[in-house]
Structure 1
Amino acid sequence: MHHRTLGKTGFSISEISLGTWQVGGKWGESFSHQNADHILNAAVDAGINFIDTADVYGDGESEKAVGRLVRSRSGERIYVATKCGRRLQPHTAEAYQPAALRGFVEDSLRNMGLDTLDLVQLHCPPTEVYYRPEIFEVFDRLKEEGKIQHLGVSVEKVEEGLKAIEYPNVTTLQVIFNMFRQRPAELLFKEAQRRDVGIIVRVPLASGLLTGKFSAQTTFEKDDHRNFNRNGEAFDKGETFAGVDYNTGLAAVEELKKVFPGQPSLAPVALRWILMFPEVSCIIPGASKPEQLLSNLKTEEVPALTTEQLAAVREVYDRLIRPQVHQIW
């Protein structure tokens, strides 16, 4: 496992890490602590040392599983990142208040049974929140109290990321970036690197589209966001298939298979493409079973993409995907 530095946190983290949105079971199923323990321990056994969770994943159950992992493997340095803010109902800019965010951080500490959190990230707040310094200042107080080590933000839009990293205490930026969402590489990555802000890449496989294993006949469970959120019915549609129309995404995947023939899964190649960008600190693909985790880890065996392959990926993006997503996020 290769490691990269997570910006000004100074943490040396596995470039392939783990996101835990669906770690307790497939999206749409109830949370399974047995499955979560299996996946989390398999991840650490494989060399992953950075786990990303959130207080809303499984209504706190994901945080509990991650905390149990860290406590059970106390001799190993496992970095924990969680998120706060999405529990606000309604999830509006006005609802973001320092006292509420402090309460969420303290709830996360209790959920995980930890004394301090390595990284707490604002969880995709409304754009207006990024223009309110008092929201960012409360995390300085929490750091002084030893409840958190660092602050990060998880954003939907490039604009939000550019504004967030103006705050000196923002150490990391989590953003959607993959073969179907390439805009962050144009300016955001460069500005983050200039400010020594670590880049955490989420939705690296476009909700599974970039595995190359889906078809027009693939069905998703009723409670799976890939079924109910394709048009942003529940939250930002960019979180589902990276905002790409499903059928357009399938067509683009077929084009990518021609660029990378003979691959049993496109996933390792798609993840290697992301790691070709040196500004990226880590990728946090999810896994609902150990087999998916092991597939993601095969990325470490994939050679660097050639100039020709990179150009071909860009051509597919420009021709099929760019018109749908580029200027939205």
Structure 2
Amino acid sequence: MIKRPLGNTDIEVSEIAFGGVEIGMPYGIGIGSEKDMIQEKEAIRLLHMALDSGINFFDTARMYGQSEAIMGKAFYSRREEIIICSKCRHFRDSQGGLPSSTVIERMIAESLEESLEALNTDYIDLYMLHQADKEILQHEDIVKVFERLKKAGVVRAIGVSTYTLEETDTAIESGVWEVIQLPFNLMDQRQSAMFSKARQKGVGVVIRSVLLKGLLSDRGKNLADPLSEIECHIQEYNELLNRHACDLPSLAIKFALSFEEVSAVLVGIDKEKYLRQALMAADGHYLDESSLMSARNLGFPKPEFIDLPYWNKMGWLT
């Protein structure tokens, strides 16, 4: 497994990052409840298999159910071999408001302490804001707390998870956040507009939603009617699939790793076949200039329609 630098941090990460949400809570197409999920024993086996196969980057969050606790059990005796990314609890209340600075500071401290305990560790390699909008990114007290945590050594690097181009641009321009986790895939390529600036500023880029919550896999079929246009567009990748003799998830991973600005690609893994698929795709042989141009030209023509949280809220992904 090839490793890439995580921006200007002193951290190197495997090209594939093990996305930990699926092992911690019901998530993804066809996963309606805990009974549909992988069991803890099997999840730990998968984590060990990933590490033994060369993956050293494991992504989780306080909001991912039992994900942190399962990783803590899996890696308690192998902590120095892995890079852990975790994320703070959300700050906004049900009405979308932010609490006072004092409350936010306490929330960060409590969330971090809970993560450290669950992960069986005394430090986190990359600690991130979860779903950071522009107001949160520019909140002086939040910035100060995260910088203080890094200075204290309880976290090695700090970053943010963004959704929009404006949020990503704000994070890069701040000069504070060292790593950005953002959505990018064959269908929705908007965030590539930020890649060059991130590299110039020394900010690491970690890709999520590379498989579009499973739509860019064998689960992207027989979708709800509102997503019929998405399903039809997916068929347009067949020529590229034939050219590279690979399946759709592998093409999606290879596409994202074709950008040198990308440090790692998050892949949600809750089955051994998904792990093996990701390992085979990240083989160091990615899209040549011609294929990359073809893939760039095959982005979904209405990317603003691609809104996974909204689709999930509407029940279109169940």
Moved more, 302-311 or 99-108: 302-311
Identify which of 202, 206, 213 aligns with 1:200: 206
Q: Which residue of 2 aligns with 1:84?
A: 88
Map 1:1-329 → 2, pairs under 5 A: 1-24=1-24, 27=27, 28-30=32-34, 32-58=39-65, 61-74=66-79, 76-86=80-90, 89-90=93-94, 92-95=96-99, 97-186=104-193, 188-216=194-222, 246-261=227-242, 263=245, 265-301=247-283, 303-317=285-299, 320-322=301-303, 324-325=305-306
Identity %: 29
How many angstroms does 1:88 deviate by? 5.3
How many angstroms does 1:264 deviate by? 5.8
How many angstroms does 1:101 deviate by? 1.4
- Taking the aligned partners of 2:137 and 2:231, their CA distance within structure 1 comes to 35
In structure 2, stretches of 5+ residues that fail to align are 308-318
- Taking the aligned partners of 1:323 and 1:135, their CA distance within structure 2 comes to 29
How many angstroms does 1:65 deviate by? 1.2
Contact kept? 1:177, 1:204, Cα under 8 Å: yes
| 1:55 counterpart SS class | coil
Give CA-to-partner distance per residue, 1:183-225, whole Å, 9 cap, x none: 1112x11111111111010110111111244312x68xxxxxx
Give CA-to-partner distance per residue, 1:267-304, whole Å, 9 cap, x none: 11111111111100000110111111111111134733
Q: Structure 1-normalised TM-score? A: 0.82
How many angstroms does 1:323 deviate by? 6.2
Q: Structure 2-normalised TM-score? A: 0.85
- Taking the aligned partners of 1:304 and 1:146, their CA distance within structure 2 comes to 36
| 1:153 counterpart SS class | strand
- Partner AA of 2:57 in structure 1: F
How many residues in Structure 1 have an aligned counterpart in Structure 2? 296
Contact kept? 2:251, 2:281, Cα under 8 Å: yes
Moved more, 299-308 or 156-165: 299-308
Contact kept? 1:25, 1:289, Cα under 8 Å: no
Give CA-to-partner distance per residue, 1:99-152, whole Å, 9 cap, x none: 211221111111112111111100003332122121111012222333212111
- Partner AA of 1:23 in structure 2: I
- Partner AA of 2:221 in structure 1: S
| 1:23 counterpart SS class | helix
